[in-house]
A and B are shown apart, each in its own frame.
Chain A
Amino acid sequence: MAEQVEREHMDFDVVIVGAGPSGLAAACRLMQQANEAERELSVCVVEKGSEVGAHILSGAIFEPRALDELFPDWAERGAPLNTPAIRDEVYLLKDDSSARKLPNALVPKTMHNVGTPGAESGRNYVISAGNLCRWLGEQAEELGVETFPGFAAQEVLYDEGGTVRGIITGDMGVGADGEPKDGYMPGMELRAKYTLFAEGARGHLGKRLIERFDLAKGRDPQHYAIGFKELWDVPAERHEPGLVLHGSGWPLDKETHGGFFLYHGENQQVMVGLIVDLAYSNPYLSPFDEFQRLKHHPLLKQYLEGGSRVAYGARAITKGGINCLPKMTFPGGLLIGCDAGTLNFAKIKGLHTAMKSGLVAAETVFEAIQGGDEGGQELTSFTTRWERSWAYRELREAANFGPAIHKYGTVMGGAYNFIDQWLGGKLPAVHDTTPDHAKLEQAAQGRKIDYPKPDGKLSFDKPSSVFLSNTNHEEDQPSHLRLKDPAVPIRDNLPTFDEPAQRYCPVGVYEVIEGDDGQPKFQINFQNCIHCKTCDIKDPAQNIEWVAPEGGGGPNYPNM
Chain B
Amino acid sequence: MKVLVAVKRVIDYNVKIRVKADHSDVDLTNVKMAMNPFCEIAVEEAVRLKEKGIASEIVAVTVGPKAAQEQLRTALALGADRAIHVATDERVESLAVAKLLKRVADEEQPQLVILGKQAIDTDNNQTGQMLAALTGWGQGTFASKVDVKDGTVDVTREIDGGLQTVALKLPAVVTTDLRLNEPRYAKLPDIMKAKKKPLDTKTPEELGVDIASKVSLLQAEAPAERKGGIKVGSVDELLDKLKNEAKVIS
Contact = CB atoms under 8 A, between A and B. Distances in A.
Interface string B168-196: 00000000000000111101110110000
B81 interface: no
A121 interface: no
A222 to B, nearest CB: 31
Interface residues of B, number: 20
A130 interface: yes
B9 to A, nearest CB: 13
Contact of A131 (B30, B182, B184): B30
A291 B54 CA distance: 59
B188 A183 contact: no
A172 B15 contact: no
A71 interface: no
Given A53-B30, A131-B30, A470-B32, A556 B14 contact: yes
Given A10-B189, A233-B21, A185 B30 contact: no
Contacts of B187: 8, 185, 188
Contact of B29 (A172, A468, A558): A558
Contacts of A471: 14
Chain B interface mostly: loop
B184 A183 contact: yes
B29 A183 contact: no
Given A183-B185, A188-B188, A310-B18, A556 B30 contact: no
A467 B226 CA distance: 14
A151 interface: yes
Contacts of B15: 470, 556, 558
Sort chain A's interface into a size bin: 20 to 34
A53 B192 CA distance: 21
A190 B191 CA distance: 14
A33 B185 CA distance: 34
Given A268-B21, A556-B12, A130 B30 contact: yes
B214 interface: no
A8 B189 contact: yes
A559 B188 contact: no
A459 to B, nearest CB: 16
A10 to B, nearest CB: 6
B52 interface: no
Contacts of B30: 53, 128, 130-131, 134, 558-559
Given A151-B188, A185-B185, A472 B14 contact: yes
B31 interface: yes
Contacts of B231: none
A79 B29 CA distance: 15
B247 interface: no
A175 B201 CA distance: 40
Nearest to A473: B14
Contacts of A470: 12, 14-16, 32
Interface in A253-297: 267-268
A131 B191 CA distance: 24
B67 to A, nearest CB: 11
Contacts of B182: 182-183
Given A148-B188, A151-B188, A182-B182, A267 B14 contact: no
Given A468-B16, A470-B16, A556-B14, A50 B32 contact: yes
A182 B182 CA distance: 8
A183 B183 contact: yes
Contact of B32 (A172, A190, A267, A558): A558
A51 B67 CA distance: 13
Given A468-B16, A558-B29, A185 B189 contact: no
Nearest to B228: A456
A146 B192 contact: yes
Interface in A424-477: 467-468, 470-472
Interface of A: 8, 10, 50-51, 53-54, 128, 130-131, 134, 146, 148, 151, 169, 172-173, 182-183, 185, 188, 190, 233, 267-268, 310, 467-468, 470-472, 556, 558-559
27 contacts: A8-B187, A10-B188, A10-B189, A53-B30, A128-B30, A130-B30, A131-B30, A148-B188, A148-B191, A151-B188, A169-B188, A182-B182, A183-B182, A183-B184, A188-B187, A188-B188, A190-B188, A267-B29, A268-B21, A467-B16, A468-B16, A470-B12, A470-B16, A471-B14, A556-B12, A556-B14, A558-B32
**Top 7 A-B pairs ranked by shortest CB distance?**
A472-B14, A556-B32, A172-B185, A470-B15, A558-B30, A185-B185, A233-B21
